[in-house]
Amino acid sequence: MAMKEIFSSTILKCLLVFVYLMIQFAGTTVAAGKQGRWQLLLNNTGVVAMHMALTHRNTVVMFDQTEAGHSGYAMRRSHDGRRCLGIPRGSEDSSCWAHSVEYHIGNNSIKPLWLQSDTWCSSGSFLSNGTLLQTGGHGRGYRRIRQLEPCTNMVCNWRELKSHLVENRWYATNQVLPEKDRVIVVGGRGTFTYEFVPKLTANAGSYDLPFLQQTFNRRQAENNLYPFIHLSSDGHLFIFANRDSILFNYKRNRVVKNFPRMPGGGSRNYPGSGSSVILPLDHTDDFQKTEVMVCGGASSGAYHSARQGNFLEGLSSCGRLVITGDRNEWAMEEMPGPRLMQDMVILPTGHILMINGARQGSAGWNNAHNPSLQPYLYKPKDRLHNRFSVLKSTKVARLYHSSAILLPDGRVLVAGSNPNRRYTYDNVTYPTELRLQAFVPHYMGPYYHNSRPLNVSTHYSKNPYGVLYGEEFNVRFWLASRPSNEIEFTAYSPPFTTHSNSMNQRMLRLKCNSLKREKGGFMRAVIEAPSSSNVAPSGYYMLTVVNEGIPSTSQWIRFMHHSPWTM
């Protein structure tokens, strides 16, 4: 008996040790998995994603500049119908090479789109019906206005409007306004004004904005281009250029507030090229608190120094600023390392992903060195000094003219990078990059499947076109387990992204008025739309159910001023 007891005790101890080790191994695996992973989607998109935008048709538009010459996508015929391949003129005619493509997420394929004028360093935003409005560029594109109406029948293409911008807009920024389908276009190289699309009146011109002249520094390479602009919940515009910022009443052409200068030196706007987001707005205070964040950028003199082959270390500081209320002071913190030319993407969790870019130098042709291969994750609600973490590294350098955007399935699409004036693949430090990747956050892994809301659908109660401000709508989804106390409903406005500037990106945490469990594991929630277009300009948003920090696949929802039949 004694021997049997000893044997049984030994077996029990071995089993306990085995179970303990398995738990430790699983925990280590989960912790390591929280760094995310990378997917290679395509080896050749054909076109550098200097500009990129997600449409509500689940396609992604990518385009660069027609002046780039040969792209990686040769056309069989030019726009005028003449043959391109096999004849000498095909090698020189820019219309024989695609400079815009549409990527279909579902079947992982691309098709070319035709650009009539040069979109080099242009700007864009979405209208309320999902049409992409695109403005400015270079040369023949300086004052052009273009539209792309997304569709699913493969015949969509760019259309240039007969109306033009009042002034040249090269390196300008767009912001959708609370008024339905009105966009403000701010700044541009050598342009210290703003204007509206469409114009306020038939003969309306542009309007002076002295702030742009005040922040302009020719000796530092005009480092206030592509200003950061965010719509505040009070209807005013936050405009940040170089290191300074204002709250601007665009209706009265008046500065409402001058904010303190952001500490940390250097420059945050092009060609310094830091990045900025407006942090998620929350229903708990009726979306009134508006806070912006600006991260990274270039050291003073970095642009001219890079032209001499000396790449100065970028900025590692971030600043958060509450732009509403009376207490408007920058709260500074440090990233894990210096960074410029990065994209800041708001994830469905409300966390901020910082991806792409470089650690040294400046934006511009071959002005950057030492690629930032590791994404950073920032959790705004965590304790100070505990908000940043470093994620899985990529092997692909994403420098000048790269972009990143959030997809409905939760992945982050990453494309582009061309520090060269032309498409150049050999004998350069950083070749033109045409590979298409996706960064897959850890929460998409199978370990979290039981917590993930599935089969999400939205139901409008009053009309089939969308939900009016302040109205309720229904969301139905399935959960493998009972819902946690940490279930959220977020609405995300996808941006137009270029040069580290994600124009019109914003997220809202919506109010849930009721949540009931039905048979078969289904849940039904009654959600309340935002009450004002100051909070959420009309248009398409990605609605996501987040349970215990694990997001569902997003579904498209449309917030509207009024029903189409009353227009």
CA distances from 422 to 45, 48, 66, 70, 418 (A): 16, 11, 11, 7, 8
Burial of 17 per CB tally in 10 Å (0-12, 13-18, 19+): exposed
CA distances from 552 to 108, 175, 525, 528 (A): 21, 28, 14, 19
Q: Which of 501, 432, 534 is nearest to 268 (CA)?
A: 501
pLDDT score for 79: 65
The answer to whether 299 and 311 have CB atoms below 8 angstroms apart is no
Domain boundaries, the chain: 449-566
pLDDT score for 396: 98
Distance CA 397, CA 402 (A): 9
Q: Structure tokens of 413?
A: 């699409």
Q: Dihedral sign, CA of 124, 218, 272, 291?
A: negative
Secondary structure of 148-214 in HEC code, one letter for each residue? ECCCCCCCCCCEECCCCCCCCCCCCEEEECCCCCCEEEECCCCCCEEEEECCCCCCCCCEECHHHHH
pLDDT score for 12: 46
Which residues on adjacent β-strands are paired with residue 488? 546
pLDDT score for 496: 98
Which residues on adjacent β-strands are paired with residue 507? 492
pLDDT score for 320: 98
pLDDT score for 81: 66
pLDDT score for 519: 86
Q: Which of 365, 369, 426 is nearest to 401 (CA)?
A: 365
The answer to whether 512 and 476 have CB atoms below 8 angstroms apart is no
What's the DSSP call for residue 262?
Answer: P
pLDDT score for 18: 42
Percent helix, strand, coil in the chain, to 5, is 15, 35, 50
pLDDT score for 155: 75
- Mode of pairing for the β-strands spanning 193-197 and 207-208: antiparallel
Q: Which of 424, 399, 354 is nearest to 72 (CA)?
A: 424
pLDDT score for 563: 54
Cα 225 off chain centre by: 18
E strands, 329-431, are 331-334, 343-346, 352-355, 358-361, 368-371, 376-378, 388-390, 402-406, 412-416
Distance CA 131, CA 163 (A): 17
Q: Structure tokens of 394?
A: 């990529």
The answer to whether 195 and 185 have CB atoms below 8 angstroms apart is yes
Model pTM score: 0.92
For domain 449-566, which CATH number applies: 3.90.1150.10, 1.10.10.10, 3.40.80.10, 2.60.40.10? 2.60.40.10
Residue 192: CB partners within 8 Å, gap ≥ 6? 208, 209, 210, 212, 213, 216
Q: Which residues of the chain have pLDDT under 70?
A: 1-33, 79-82, 85-93, 154, 220-221, 563-567
